[in-house]
Amino acid sequence: MKKTVLSIVLLLAPLFGIKAQEGPSDPSGYLDFWIGEWEVSWSEGDGKKGWGVNHIQKVLDGKVVQENFEILEGKSKGYKGTSISTYHTATKKWFQCYADNNGAFYHFTGDLDGDKKIFKTEVSKNQEGKDFVQRMVFYEITAASMTWDWEYSNDNGKTWHLNWRIKYKRKG
C-alpha cells in the first residue's frame, strides 16, 4: 500500500510543479550543500576560539568539487589545505584527495549514514600496530550552517574519537 501511494505521488508531483528531493539515488548532488563561501570556527580550549574561511566551488565542467581552507586566527594560524572531490561513475563512489601546507595527504571515500555525509580513509596500522582509520563527518546541514567532525578509530570503525569539530556558517 505504501509503495503504491508513493508511486502515485511521484508520478503526479511534476504535474503540480513539485520536484522530488534528490538523495543517494542522485549522486551528482552529494556535495552541493558544501558549495559556497564559509566562515569556520572551533574551540581551542580555555575559552579560546580558532577561526578561518573555506571556499568551495565546482570546477572542471561541474564534475569536481574544489576546496580551499585557511586558518586565519588561533593556534594553527597560517594553515592551508585544499581538496578535490569527484564522483567516479564506474565504482559509483565519491572520492576526495586532501593535501595541506604541512605536507599531509589523505585519500577518502564518501558514504552516507542517514543524514550524515562521511568521507573515510582506508584502514591502516598505527604506531602500535592496531587498525587505524580516520573520517570526516558533515552533519546538522542547513542552507546557512553545518557541523564538520574529524574523527579517528583504533578498532576498525567500531568506536570513533573526536579530533576536531568545526562549525560552518555561510558568508553573506
Residue by residue, pLDDT tens for the chain (172 residues) are 444 333 333 343 333 333 333 344 567 788 999 999 999 999 998 889 999 999 999 999 999 999 999 999 999 999 999 999 999 988 888 999 999 999 999 999 998 777 899 999 998 887 788 888 999 999 999 999 999 999 999 988 899 999 999 999 999 7
Asked if the 27-170 domain carries CATH number 2.40.128.20, the reply is yes
pLDDT of residue 147: 97
Beta strand 36-45 with 161-170 is antiparallel
Q: Is residue 154 within 8 Å of 162, Cβ to Cβ?
A: no
pLDDT of residue 156: 84
pLDDT of residue 7: 38
**pTM for the full model?**
0.79
pLDDT of residue 43: 96
pLDDT of residue 20: 37
Residue 52 Cα distances to 70, 85, 148, angstroms: 6, 21, 14
Using alpha carbons only, give the angle 167, 45, 151 rounded to the nearest 5 degrees.
55
Residue 97 Cα distances to 8, 9, 113, 172, angstroms: 42, 40, 20, 28
**How far apart are the two ends of the chain, measured CA to CA in Å?**
45
Q: What is the 3-state secondary structure (H, E, C) of 12-69?
A: HHHHHCCCCCCCCCCHHHCCHHHCEEEEEEEEEECCEEEEEEEEEEEECCCCEEEEEE
